[in-house]
Every structure is written in C-alpha cells, then in structure tokens.
Amino acid sequence: MTKPQTTHFGYKEVPVSEKANHVADVFHSVASRYDLMNDLMSLGVHRFWKWITIQQSGVRPGASVLDIAGGTGDLTAKFADLVGPQGKVVLADINASMLNVGRDRLIDRGKAGNIAYVQANAESLPFPDNYFDVITIAFGLRNVTDKDKALRSMFRVLRPGGQLMVLEFSKPAGWLAPIYDQYSFRVLPTLGKQFTGDAESYQYLAESIRMHPDQSTLKQMMQDAGFERSTYQNMSAGIVALHRGYKF
C-alpha cells in the first residue's frame, strides 16, 4: 500500500513530512501561557479530567511511568508523588519549548529527584522494549502525524501487564455538538488572541479536535496496535474521552 503524501493539519492538507513542524510552531507560540489557556478554555474542568486519569492509573510506589506529550508537567507532578523515590517518571514531549516550561515548573516545585525529561517523538519512542508500567498521553495524540505508528511504539515500550491511558478531546453527545461548535470556533480563537496574541493556534486546536478519531475508532486503533481489554470512558458528555488498554 502506498503511504499517503499529505495529512491533515487542522482542516488544511500539508505534506506528511511537514506536519510535525507545523504542530511545533503552534506549541512554541503558546507554551508560556499553556496552563492559563487550559483553565480559561475548560473553565478549569481539565483538572478534573486529569484527576480521573490519575485515579484510574493504578500507579504505585516504585512504578515507572511515561507521560507522553507531558507539556507543562501537571500529570508528571502527580505521578512523581505516587511512585515515590524508588520509582521514575519520564516527562516526554516532542516540543522543546513545552518541555522546558514543564521542567522549570517542576524544578521550581521541588520535584526533580525521580523525574527525567526527554524530547521525543511518540512515533519512535527512544526507550527499551517492555520498560514502563504505565503510559499516559493527555491531549497529545491528536497532534501526532501517524497515530497508528505512535500506538505501536507505546505498546512496544509498555511492560506486560502495563496500561496505556489516552486522554483526549473526542466527539460530544449529539445534543451538545452545535453548542460545542459555536464555542470552539468563536470563543476559543478569541481567547487565544486576547491572552496569547495568537488566534490561529486556537483555530487549529478546534479543527484538530474535529479531525481526531471518534471514541469507537480510537478504541479499534488501540486494539489493532496490540492492546487488549480496550475501553473508553466519556467525560463531560463526550467532549473528552479516556481510553485505556493493556498489554498482556
């Protein structure tokens, strides 16, 4: 089968080789105000979505955790507390600006001893086979160029018995969709322009959510990558879904 020469960047079609650079430009632009914008856009509810993810992770003292697209490190901070001094958390992000912001904030909070920082592409994770007990990717999979390849890469580095958790924007319930569309395409770019001076990045955010696979499709993609007992849990009427899968 011939590989596609283009892929979507929001609603635009761009060469496959260029998408990562386009996504990088978005996050270089918003890195310094990323947490502020998350609070504004979700009215703080993103913290609840992440709390649910952490509660269902089953992370224990001594565990090894990979937080892909970990950005400013809010999940990493919680996992670092859970694994304790005998455990390890790797904060990985393809974007150097996001990774630097996350590292600086975690160090400022005194969380350094059991955290490593790695600039990495989810499609080709630079870790040994069967290495991590838990892998999370929160609001990052939709930005990956080849999602199937990334899922296979995550499967490879996950230990047998380990769990992958994908927290991502998804497809909301039908009754909510028109309201959500109005909010996404009118309010988000306006907030982006007002607080970061960058409306285009938040236009991309809204578009990238619409191009992301729906709940059932992503569940099947995880199964095709090798994950078993794959499930998903809708939150906020499907605006966000938490997908979980295991390696046996």
* Bind-site residues for S-adenosyl-L-methionine: 72, 93, 121-122
Rounded Cα distance, 204 and 29, in Å = 12
Rounded Cα distance, 63 and 140, in Å = 23
Q: Which residues contact 213 (CB under 8 A, 6 or more apart)?
A: 147, 221
Rounded Cα distance, 157 and 152, in Å = 9
Question: Token match 């578009």: residue?
Answer: 207
Cα-Cα-Cα-Cα dihedral sign, residues 149, 151, 157, 161: negative
Q: How far apart are the first and last CA of the chain?
A: 30
Q: Which residues contact 50 (CB under 8 A, 6 or more apart)?
A: 74, 75, 78, 138, 167
Known binding-site residues equal 72, 93, 121-122
Rounded Cα distance, 234 and 241, in Å = 4
Question: Token match 């990956």: residue?
Answer: 144
Question: Token match 């909301």: residue?
Answer: 172
